[in-house]
Every structure is written in structure tokens, then in C-alpha cells.
Amino acid sequence: MIGEAIVHRGGAPAQDASAAAVDPVVAEVIRHGLNSAAGQMKRALVRTAFSPIIYEVLDFAVALYDDQVRLLAQAPSLPMFMGRLSFCVEAAVAAVGGAAALEPGDVVLYNDPYGTGSHPQDAAVVAPAFLDGELVGYAAIKAHWLDVGGKEPYSTDTVDLFQEGTIFPGVKLVRRGELVDDVYRMILSNSRVPQLVAGDVNAELVGVATGVKALLAVVRQHALPTFRAAVERIFDHGEAVVRSYFERLPDGVYRACGQLDDDGVSADPVTFEIAVTVDGSDLTVDFSNAPEQRPGPVNCTLPKTVAISRVAVGMLAGAGEPPNEGHQRPIQVITRPGTLFHPQRPAPSFIGGWASFQALETVLLAVGRALPDAVPAGSGGDICSLVWWGERADGRPWADGSPHPVGQGAHAGGDGASALMHISESATRVTPAEVWETKNPWLLERTELIPDSGGAGRRRGGLGVHYRVRALEDMWLTAVIERTRSAPSALAGGGEGRSNRARLELPDGMRRPLAKATRVRVPAGAVLDLQTGGGGGHGPAAERPPAAVRADLREGYVTERRAREDYPHAF
């Protein structure tokens, strides 16, 4: 049953009136020190992780928070994780009895999707930082474990929360510096690939220990009162940056509709509307008109929905600065419990991230229809995720997974970029072919840009990527490929991009289309053919300079046939 709409305010308001008295140079030194501390956490995690999805793809988030769970600093990683990690820290601390129940050396494990805003594989560890017995903040990491004992290592067809994996609802994994063996053994006993998960768990512990040490070093250098006052000044500056951007936008309500191909269980498309309201220097993103929560796992839990708004707005208004709590203050989000963007447990949400990708695109489209020069056209709109697993010839279990890049939308200032991750995962990377082929039983036969996949326009959309992966042994595959039924949107009279598509070519010659598909058998010799989508164009194609069209032909970005259709003036 759908409940009443709820307003979720932005970041916490200022707490210390002494911020103005802090030397701005000192505040800037502290800001960079915090960003450096978060960077040290990231490096520690990457250097010690066992799985390529962490150390190559960077499927994680690392951040530092103050004692009130306000974002101090983050290292570049998954933007969508960052906007929701505060929910995770708050829920993890509350689950063990609150801050009063924490001690130096503790680490809390938490992966409940309704608190993390992710599927259970995205497991978070949270470590408190104490200075002379006083709590001054937290170091937190959320990273993707390859398997946590769900019905499959990765699923598109779950029907409730309990099929999606083992839940650790806030338990101390480390107590006063000592590993809690019972919890650790439970983690490994609920994974199909325990050795890989064990390595990644320990890498997360190394990462948060590094973060606590680095955070305390910054605090000690400046003394706690100065540090706290400087943090308030940092937050105030971040808020001012975002508000100055909003003030340049015309007041009004901007609406756009988005769509999911299906919910993973039924074949019907899922449509929704999002409204963006600009009122002076305040901005509201309204999801209250969303449809009822779905029987399939595309439901987008509340932390993830709030993150959509923070990421979309931050990319527009953040001036390229590393985000902090202040950037979030001018943003509020409206949701309605029981709907796609605020589901109630135990509704399934394993691939709710794919709803968030479409929502982010829809927020940008809403702004773009009113201010087409302020945002890019639509991208390929997905990460085209593939997750593989099986047993090697010697019986060793293995698993791996990766997002894949798409074409980005063109914008008023230039053509869309080709072969980049969706903006929700913009800091992640593609695993190098050499690592893939060394770690896994397959051969990467093709990786190339797809001509004509970007939308035509005064500025051309970026190109998608064509992959062909040949299985060398029998294996299993789960594919999560969205935006196969709707094309990437254009702006200001440009042309749409090409949608995503994939198929499995079996050794007997049969071909099976793939979109959302769970536990697909891939026999040795089969080929997975993936073509990711291109970005939409910006502005009328008739206004593209002939020299730019000829350059596209020369570089192979467009074929002559398509160029003659879209840009006859260039011939």
C-alpha cells in the first residue's frame, strides 16, 4: 500500500557558529588533508584486495565522516555509492547500540539493502575514530563481494529480500582490535568463493584502519576545536558553491518520464515520472509520482533514491570539487513509501541500481528540456553488467563480474565521449583484457567502438563498444542489460543514440538475445556478443560543420551511408 509523501532534507545544517573565525587557509589545509586521508584509504584497499572487481574495476566507495555522520571527504570511486553511504554508517552504528556502544578498534559489518541502498554483495565496514577517548568520526568502506550466498551469485529474478543473499544487519566484525571469529567464519560459510571473499574482507579492514589513522593525524595536527570549526567552514563553502549554481537557474517545475524495460520478473515496461523544482537556491527532486513497488528486484531503496538526486545535482552544481556534506544541504528529495523509489521490506531490490540509472538520466532530462545547454543529452543509460562463475577444470570455484562502458551524450560545448562508464559509475574502470584472460577461462575476441551508435547532431553523441567474449570452459552467466527497448535521448533537436543489445551465440549456431537473464548456461565455445549503447546528439544535425563530419568519416565514427543520411549538407 502506498503511503503519504515524505520529504527528505539535504545535508545536516551548520552546528558551530565559530566557523567564520577560522583562518580560511587553515580550513583549506584541513580540507586537502581530509581528501588525502580518503585517498590513502582507497590506495590501501586497492593494493590489498583479491578480486579484480575491486582492484581493477574500483567497485567500492571509501569515505570519512565526522562524529555526526556528516561527509568529510571521499576518494573518487562509485558516485552512486557515495551519495548513500551516510545511511549505511548511521544504520550500522545504530544496530550495535549507538555510538556509546563503540570502542577504539571496533569495526562494524553491515549489508542490509534497506540501509546500504545496494544489494547484499555490497558489504560495508565502519570503523570509529577515537582521540583520547572521544569519538571524532568514522572511516567507512562499501565494496562488492563476489558472493554472499543468495539464490545465485547475481540475480535478476528475485521475488523477496531473502533470496538475495545473507544479511549482516550491523554486527561487530572486529571488537577492540580483535577479529570476531564467529562472524568471520559465517561470512566465508555463506559464499561460493570463500577465498576471494576472505581476501576482500581483510582488504576492507586494512582500508578502514588506514582511514582512522589518517583522520586522527589531521585532527591531531590542528587540535580538535580548530578541526571542528574548520569543518563547519568547509561545509558552508560547499553549500555556497551549489546554491550559486541553483540561483542561475530559472525558477520552475521541470518534469520528465523515464522507463525500465521490465522488472526482471514480468515482461511489462515500468514507467515513472520525476519532477525537479528550482526555487531560488533550493532544489527539490520529487519521486512521489512513482508507480507501486514491483514484484521483481528493480525496486530502488530509499538511500539509493536520495543518492540519485545528490549525484545528479552534484555533477551539475559541484564545480568539480570533491563533495562534502555542505554540497547536499540545498537539495531535498520527496518520496512515497510503497513505490518503486521507496519500497518497503521485504520487497526485492537486487537490481534496484538499474532503476537508479534511469532515474538519474531522467533528472538530467527534466533539467535539459528547460535548459538544454545546461546538461548533456542521454547516454547509453546503463552499465551493461555481466557476472560470470563456475568451476575450473581442477575443481576450484571462480567468479568475476564487470560493468561495461557506453557512449555519453553530446552537450552544448562538444561531442559526447565514447566508451566511458555511465555517470553513476564514472570513476570505475574496465578490467584490462590481460587480467580478464589470466584470471578467467575465456578469450576476449573483440573490443572496438561501434560506428553510427552515437546520435547525430550539431554535437555528435559518443559511441558504444562492441565486445565478443568466447568461453573456453563451461560456465554460468547473469546479464543485467537495461535500456534495450528505449533509445538514449537527444536534446535541442539532436538525434537519438543506439540502444544496448546483447546475445549469446551457442556452439550449435543458435542465438539467444540477452537482457535481464539469470544463471544462463554458457558452454565452452559459446560467444557472448555485447554492443553497448551510444549517446544522444545535441542540436540539429544540419548545423554540424562539414569539416567535423569529414573528420568523423576519417576516424570511422560514422559510416558514409549514415553520414549522407544525417548530414547531406556536408556532401
Q: How many of the other CB atoms lie within 10 Å of CB of 4?
A: 8
Residue 552 and residue 460 in contact, taking contact as beta carbons nearer than 8 Å: yes
What pTM does this model have?
A: 0.92
Residue 363 and residue 334 in contact, taking contact as beta carbons nearer than 8 Å: no
183 Cβ contact partners less than 8 Å away, ≥ 6 residues apart = 109, 168, 171, 172, 173
Residue 59 and residue 143 in contact, taking contact as beta carbons nearer than 8 Å: yes
44: left (phi over 0), alpha (psi -120 to 50) or beta: alpha
Q: Measure CA 540 to chain center.
A: 32
Number of helices and strands in the chain (H, E) = 14, 21
The per-residue pLDDT for 13 is: 61
**What kind and span of H or E run contains 137?**
strand 134-144
Q: Which three cell numbers stand for residue 208?
A: 578502514
C-alpha angle with apex 357: 351 to 360, nearest 5 degrees? 145
Give the bridge partners for 392, in sequence order. none
Q: DSSP of 201-260, one letter per residue?
A: HHHHHHHHHHHHHHHHHHHHHH-HHHHHHHHHHHHHHHHHHHHHHHTTSPPEEEEEEEEE
558 Cβ contact partners less than 8 Å away, ≥ 6 residues apart = 451, 452, 454, 460, 549, 552, 566
Residue 379 and residue 488 in contact, taking contact as beta carbons nearer than 8 Å: yes
C-alpha angle with apex 355: 350 to 360, nearest 5 degrees? 135
**What kind and span of H or E run contains 39?**
helix 24-48
Q: How far apart are CA 374 and CA 463, in angstroms?
A: 21
Q: How far apart are CA 31 and CA 476, in angstroms?
A: 46
The per-residue pLDDT for 312 is: 79
* Spans in the chain with pLDDT lower than 70: 1, 10-20, 82-83, 318-320
**Residue 548 — φ and ψ, nearest 5°?**
-70, -35
Residue 64 and residue 137 in contact, taking contact as beta carbons nearer than 8 Å: yes
Q: Which three cell numbers stand for residue 418?
A: 565514447
Please give the single-letter amino acid code of residue 208: V
Length, in residues, of the chain: 571
**Residue 518 — φ and ψ, nearest 5°?**
-110, 140
The per-residue pLDDT for 125 is: 98
The per-residue pLDDT for 15 is: 55
354-387 tens-digit pLDDT? 999 999 999 999 988 778 898 899 999 999 999 9
Residue 167 and residue 116 in contact, taking contact as beta carbons nearer than 8 Å: no
Residue 45 and residue 207 in contact, taking contact as beta carbons nearer than 8 Å: yes
